[in-house]
Amino acid sequence: MYMVAVYVFFTFLDTSAKYIVLAGVAPLFAAWMRFATHVVLVLFLLRGWRQPARFRAANLPAHVLRGALLFGSTIFNFLALETLQLAEATSIYFFGPMVITALAGPLLGEWAGWRRWLAILTGFVGVLVITRPGVGVFAIGHFYALCAMFSNCLYVIMTRRLAATETPESLLLYAALAPVVLLLPMLPFSVVSLPQDAWHWLILLSLGVYGTIGHWFLIRAYRIATASALAPYPYLQMVWMIAAGWLIFSQLPDIWTIVGAAIIVASGLYIVHREHRLRLRNSAAPNAEDEALAKKL
């Protein structure tokens, strides 16, 4: 139930972001407000003034880099949503787990076997079906969506590297605090088109609320369930995105987007299945040689 709620709130976040950007608010300012609200809510919900040691950073430069990657993912996503449908942008974003699997080898030493590489290539075919480069469909929105996906992949890998040495509270706080501080000098150039009424200000402020609550539920879900058990749930977001696109923007994905999304989802679920089998084989492997053999499968 936590994971279902997570992707409902993330759908609210993307839908509100598309709404506010289409209303004329600069994507940079919208993204900055999303993280500024996030910082305030984290400090309030976790009562940071009572136990500041929970937010101590052992590796501050790495936190700053991780926050910059999360901001890059957010701003590119907001830019993509100016021209792409919600379901279309989300479909490309779903290719992220396959990119993470590919990058985990050189960056984390977690190399994928040939079956998972085949699933990665199949997922890439799904991206090509959605974007269809060479036939006049690929546009700047698709480029922004790919940049958002790749930035998020690097953010996830940084999170995995820092999780062993940093507290969950510091990971939650600095991911938002870093872009809030780093982008302050650029903020005056992005406030030329502020919300014009209270309704649009409310939508703008809600971005941080949806993001913070979504990440909070995500943390609670991972506290009581394994990663493999929760891995398929992100694909539920496609259902919410299609519904939100139809209800709010009167948009439905075309057949190519649906086919491409189905290919990507199937490839992602197969990788989840293979990684689950790998963990089972590794736990049963009697020695290092057998474990190395299991990883090649």
- Report the alpha-carbon distance of residue 29 to residue 6 in Å, rounded: 24
List, as own/partner pairs, every contact residues 159-167 make where C-beta atoms lie below 8 angstroms and the sequence separation is at least 24, other chains included.
159/66, 160/108, 161/62, 161/108, 162/59, 162/62, 162/63, 162/66, 165/58, 165/59, 166/57, 166/58, 166/59, 166/63, 167/54, 167/55, 167/56
pTM of the model: 0.80
User: What is the tally of structural domains in the chain?
Assistant: 1
Residues 86-121 have pLDDT tens digits of: 888 888 888 877 787 777 777 767 676 777 778 878
* 95 CB neighbour count, 10 Å cutoff: 26
Token pair in block for residue 164: 């062993």
Longest dimension (CA), the chain: 66
- pLDDT tens string, the chain, 297 residues long: the values are 888 898 899 999 999 999 999 998 888 899 999 999 999 988 887 776 777 778 888 888 999 999 999 999 999 999 999 888 888 888 888 887 778 777 777 776 767 677 777 887 888 888 888 877 655 567 888 899 999 999 988 888 888 788 778 888 888 889 899 989 988 888 887 777 778 889 999 999 999 999 888 888 877 787 777 665 676 777 788 888 889 999 998 888 888 888 888 888 888 788 777 776 766 776 665 554 444 434 444
Domain around 91:
2-296
